[in-house]
Amino acid sequence: MLRYVTTNPGKVREAEQYLADGSVEQLDFDYTEIQSPELGPIAARGAREAYREAGGPVLVDDAGLFIEGLDGFPGPYSSYVQETLGIERVRELARPLENARAAFRCTLAYCDGEGFAASPDPVDRADRGTAAAAGPDDSASDAGRTGTNADGTNADAAGTEPAGETDPLPVKLFEGYVPGRIVDRRGSGGFGYDPIFEHAGETFAEMDTERKNAVSHRGRALAKFAEWYAER
């Protein structure tokens, strides 16, 4: 049984559409979320901790809303900002922006304790000095992390953990991205920032789960994961 490790049942409802009936269940475990300007390191470390808790295959999902005119705010801090400011105040922060362009990003991290061709460990920016100091291999991988996939997502981030923090548990990362803009609240479905995020004329809260999944950051990451997992 695959455990989707999250405190957010909305994420699991979306995942259920991609995975065979009954093959995924929620594990409500609040793993440590490290501070990083990028989602990859947060999800990767979370997946390792969650695997140790669950003792079986886990999927961890770190996601965020990135508002272009606010330099990507709230980004990896979306959960904290939702709890503190709330989505109405985020909408107000975006109101003076000319077009309020934004994007949702999602990084899924899979870990089952077994060996497989894992994604290279993502390095968060705070670790870069240490990683660069570690030698030429790291500068090569630093170049790798700047790549962009055809769908606009970052190519698999590459690098190594800083000295002394290397964790041998393999983790595979899957990324998804969806562009949109911040609008006045509309709709009653979904969760989190869905009512103020519009994509192709509809907010995510106006879409049912199936329609949201067809275009969303999580749907895109889940589709990549489901294809890989079926082979596994």
Nearest approach, Cβ of residue 206 and ligand ITT (Å) = 12
* Of residues 20-39, those binding ligand ITT (CB under 6 A): none
Task: Please say which residue, 141 or 213, places its beta carbon nearer to ligand ITT.
Answer: 213
Q: Is residue 203 at the binding interface for ligand ITT, with CB under 6 A as the rule? A: no
Calculate ∠ Cα 11-12-18, nearest 5°.
105
How many residues of this chain bind ligand ITT (CB under 6 A)? Answer: 21
142 has catalytic annotation:
no
Q: Is residue 193 at the binding interface for ligand ITT, with CB under 6 A as the rule? A: yes
Token duo for residue 184: 């006045």
Q: How many CA atoms lie within 13 A of 85 on its CB side?
A: 16
Q: Of residues 21, 61, 62, 137, which has the active-site annotation?
A: 62
Task: Please say which residue, 120 or 189, places its beta carbon nearer to ligand ITT.
Answer: 189
43 close to 173: Cβ distance less than 8 angstroms? yes
41 close to 34: Cβ distance less than 8 angstroms? yes
* Of residues 35-94, those binding ligand ITT (CB under 6 A): 61-65, 78-79, 82
Token duo for residue 149: 């996939």
Stretch that binds ligand ITT, among 4-12, 94-102, 143-151, 164-172 (CB under 6 A): 4-12
Q: Is residue 191 at the binding interface for ligand ITT, with CB under 6 A as the rule? A: yes
Nearest CA among 215, 37, 12 for reference residue 124: 37
Nearest approach, Cβ of residue 195 and ligand ITT (Å) = 9
Contact mark string toward ligand ITT, 126..155, x via CB under 6 A: ------------------------------
Stretch that binds ligand ITT, among 19-27, 127-135, 148-156, 189-197 (CB under 6 A): 189-197
Residues with Cβ < 8 Å from 177, sequence gap 6 or more? 103, 104, 105, 106, 151, 152, 153, 217, 220
Task: State how far the alpha carbon of 99 is from the alpha carbons of 94, 173, 198, 203, 209, in Å.
Answer: 9, 31, 12, 15, 26
Q: Which residue type is seen at 212? A: K
Task: State how far the alpha carbon of 185 is from the alpha carbons of 97, 204, 214, in Å.
Answer: 16, 10, 21
Nearest approach, Cβ of residue 53 and ligand ITT (Å) = 13
Q: Is residue 7 at the binding interface for ligand ITT, with CB under 6 A as the rule? A: yes
Task: Please say which residue, 73 or 141, places its beta carbon nearer to ligand ITT.
Answer: 73
The rounded distance, in Å, linking the Cα atoms of 4 and 21 is 14
Just list the catalytic residues.
62
The residues of the shown chain that bind ligand ITT, judged by CB under 6 A, are 6-8, 11, 61-65, 78-79, 82, 104, 190-194, 204, 216, 218
